[in-house]
Amino acid sequence: MAVFKGSGVAIATPFYEDGSVNYEEFDRLIEFQIAEGTDAIIVCGTTGEAATMSEEEHMQVVKHCIDKVAHRIPVIAGTGSNCTMTAVNLSKEAESYGADALLCVTPYYNKATQEGLIAHFSAIADAVSIPIIMYNVPSRTGCNIQPATAAYLVEHKKNIVGIKDATGNLAAAAELMHICSDIDVYSGNDEEVVPLMSLGGVGVISVLANIAPRQTHEMCALALAGDFAGARKIQLDAVPLIKALFSEVNPIPVKQAITNLGFNAGPLRLPLTKISDEHAAQLQKAMDDFGIKKIS
């Protein structure tokens, strides 16, 4: 059974001006997501700025999210690292806190071989019992999980169950689903949700869902029900907004969008900096055009 089907939000982490985590606002974001129908929360991923958190802070945010959600929907903890031992330790800790599953990115910077990827993900899988979703995002990591490698891992490690595909390569995704019918494939790109689900994907791990959770959930629900005409309309209507959300590197625009929505997302941590005025104006227009209204 899939960890979740539908829309999983790659939730942003709000900060105070001094850079500390704003847990009160984080709770508001979590409650907003659950109320709006989001199917799962992915905490401490790229959008959550985990890369600039200490390991202790990272796990505090994971535990807080798990405790706040309290099993109402699945919580998937981002526990990936370019150091296998660090990924193992973070994964074990997240499991001890009650995470429903883990999202583990390919080792970045090291540029592991396919053999290295098998060893890396196998070490994590052997250390925990909860499900693991691999995260394949070569544009950020410089490392790509080949379809045969992903299929091998799913075949040989029972708790490696899925992959977040942010490659932009639908042909490779189709090949993976052809050779491995047991893998749950999630789109890692908001502009490709419906195309990937038409091939057999089960949902999305989404940036868009931070500000449009109801629409993202509905798009996935329609696709899961076989109503691809309805799902396609939402997907196409969202194109300008998705483009605006990626006008600068994620999560720069989405944190501005969350602020526009009426939450206190706070600043970004360096080396990320505030969105440009030009892109901020484009983002607000795209939100308005998509019908996103500020929360009172």
pLDDT digits (tens, 9 = 90+) for 110-129: 999 999 999 999 999 999 99
Cα–Cα dist 79/154, whole Å: 18
Measured distance CA(82)–CA(207) in Å, rounded = 23
Query: How many whole angstroms separate alpha carbon 166 and alpha carbon 62?
Result: 23
Question: What is the predicted pLDDT for the residue at 213?
Answer: 98
pLDDT of residue 257: 98
Question: What tokens appear for 15 in the block?
Answer: 């900060």
Active site members: 135, 164
The string of pLDDT tens digits covering residues 132-171 is: 999 999 999 999 999 999 999 999 999 999 999 999 999 9
Q: What percent of the chain has pLDDT over 90?
A: 99
Is-contact 220 228, C-beta < 8 A?
no
Q: What pLDDT score does 1 carry?
A: 79
| 50 located within any domain | yes
Q: Band of the pLDDT at 282, cuts 50, 70, 90?
A: very high
**CB 213, CB 229: distance < 8 Å:** no
Q: Is 237 helix (H, G, I), strand (E, B) or coil?
A: helix
Q: 4, 204 in Cβ contact below 8 A?
A: no
Distance CA 90, CA 50 (A): 12
Q: Per the domain annotation, does 129 fall within a domain?
A: yes
What's the domain range around 53? Answer: 6-223
Name which of 214, 215, 213, 207 is nearest 189 in CA terms. 207
Our count of domains for the chain comes to: 1
Instruction: Indicate which CATH number applies to the domain containing 29.
Output: 3.20.20.70
Whether 283 is in a domain gets the answer no
What pTM was estimated for this model as a whole? 0.96
Per-residue pLDDT averaged across 256-272, rounded?
97
Amino acid at 35: A
> Does the pLDDT value for residue 281 go beyond 80?
yes
89 belongs to a structural domain: yes
Cα separations in angstroms, 4 against 35, 71, 76, 224: 17, 13, 10, 12
Directed axis angle between helix 277-289 and helix 252-261, to 10°?
50
pLDDT for res 244: 98
Per-residue pLDDT, averaged over 30-53, amounts to 98
CB atoms closer than 10 angstroms to residue 121: 28
**Is 268 inside any structural domain?**
no
Q: What is the pLDDT of residue 152?
A: 98
62 belongs to a structural domain:
yes
- Mean predicted lDDT score pLDDT of the chain: 97
Look at residue 296 and tell me whether its pLDDT is greater than 90. Answer: no
